[in-house]
Structure 1
């Protein structure tokens, strides 16, 4: 009985797998090269089951699209269950004016951790919603279709409440000899944030204090290098010596130094 049932089952027409053909123009040489590459991909994709031409071609197309086409939804795609992300980001013409700002390694890691935490309970893609610039730092609001929000600051925050990235920029600005108009032009052209007047005013007194200390130190140094009888004739002081010779010359806005100190104590 079982044998008859088996024979009857075997005689039933089998449902054929659907097929489609793709016709590609080219000589036999191109055909062989294409098949060789396709077989190589199929070989690398082996996961214990037979990899068909359709699966291999579909995977290759997904890989190219993911790395070369900007998707509005930024859907995550995988190759053989492995997320593939290229290090470069293709840019469209309308994206060349994307907002720019400064960030740090720890802030990038914070962003990655925040996105990972969101992905634990929600599979919706996070998209850029809006942002605001705070000097050279940015506060970014990311949002998904489920209305989950992630607020990310591009800079760590110091105990005084200020953004870390603004301090190296401010320090570089005041020690470079750059004029205010030049810094303003850099901001207008590059558009990556601008140190606010409030920030500048808050540290103007600190810079002034450093300048005063530098002047007093240079007077003392110069006085010790001269003979007592020559002190009545006065001492010679050079100001604005950022590129001068004292050890702290690179770290001050205005440095004063005695002329004899330049000769006796070269940098």
Structure 2
């Protein structure tokens, strides 16, 4: 009985050709890049890939990154900018950031998405005072690792955010214990005592210079406000640390017309153990200082305030 001969040859799948202009150099360069993409996709997808899949993946990636899509929500699922904190996230890490640092993060994210469709995740966060130094890692390509800080640097290589908060702390009148309790309670990081002391030494120098210049200007303004200068009038304001047996007293002299600070003296028990004499001692020093500055006085009004 005759039998029909079976074709054992493998049937080739449908295919098409694409002509690309270029010489052997261009051909070699394109094939090399295709091979690199092929190796990456084979490793990522864990299966063999052909040239058709490679080209489609490349074109889809370019379209998503550059042109967008009608189905934008599916291709780029943007999370809502309004979010509610879950119970388990109320103790999440907090830090202080600067506006320019947010711009830098946006530029970093944009640069990464132009070369990779992986997401950036926080791998590690290190607090440096109130500044967060964050290590970002790509979910697809481990070599895509970036270090971002929530504050820019000053010329002295210190963080702007930490300097601004130190300035606010020292100009607010808060005690160090109040600062540490506040920042530790909020969980926004804490500037170490050594760094605060280093900042204070520089801050004190600049504050003293500003104070001297301010007093000098106040005296000139008060003197110029009199038509016939045979002396100026001042008001003194004594502020005691507390009501009974105060440890220290600050005496401030204001010009009667301008109400600007013309002098300020701080008296403690190391200078006089009797708290009731602190105001008089401070006022005497103010008189001496103004006389040394050739500023004659003709009337003084005293106001006493206990804190």
Residues 33-61 of structure 1 show CA distances to partners (whole Å, capped at 9, x for unaligned) of xxxxxxxxxxxxxxxxxxxxxxxxxxxxx
The alignment covers a number of residue pairs equal to 172
1:179 to 175, 181, 186: 175
Return the offset for 1:144: 2.3
- Distance in 1 of aligned mates of 2:219 and 2:116: 69
List alignment gaps of at least 5 residues for structure 1.
Answer: 1-76, 241-254
Structure possessing the higher radius of gyration over alpha carbons? 2
| TM-score (normalised: structure 2) | 0.47
Return the offset for 1:82: 5.6
Call closer, same or farther: CA 1:257–1:211 in 2, change over 3 Å. farther
Alignment partner, residue 38 of structure 2: none
Contact 1:135/1:194 (8 A) holds in 2: yes
| TM-score (normalised: structure 1) | 0.54
Call closer, same or farther: CA 1:104–1:211 in 2, change over 3 Å. closer
Call closer, same or farther: CA 1:256–1:103 in 2, change over 3 Å. farther
Return the offset for 1:111: 0.9
Contact 1:218/1:257 (8 A) holds in 2: no
1:116 to 110, 128, 133: 110
Alignment partner, residue 100 of structure 1: 94
- Distance in 2 of aligned mates of 1:99 and 1:131: 9
Alignment partner, residue 24 of structure 1: none
Alignment partner, residue 196 of structure 2: 200
1:258 aligns with 2:253: yes
Contact 2:166/2:199 (8 A) holds in 1: no
1:142 aligns with 2:139: no
Contact 1:218/1:258 (8 A) holds in 2: no
Return the offset for 1:132: 0.8
CA RMSD in angstroms comes to 3.4
Return the offset for 1:122: 2.3
List alignment gaps of at least 5 residues for structure 2.
Answer: 1-70, 240-249, 261-307
Residues 64-86 of structure 1 show CA distances to partners (whole Å, capped at 9, x for unaligned) of xxxxxxxxxxxxx9526564331
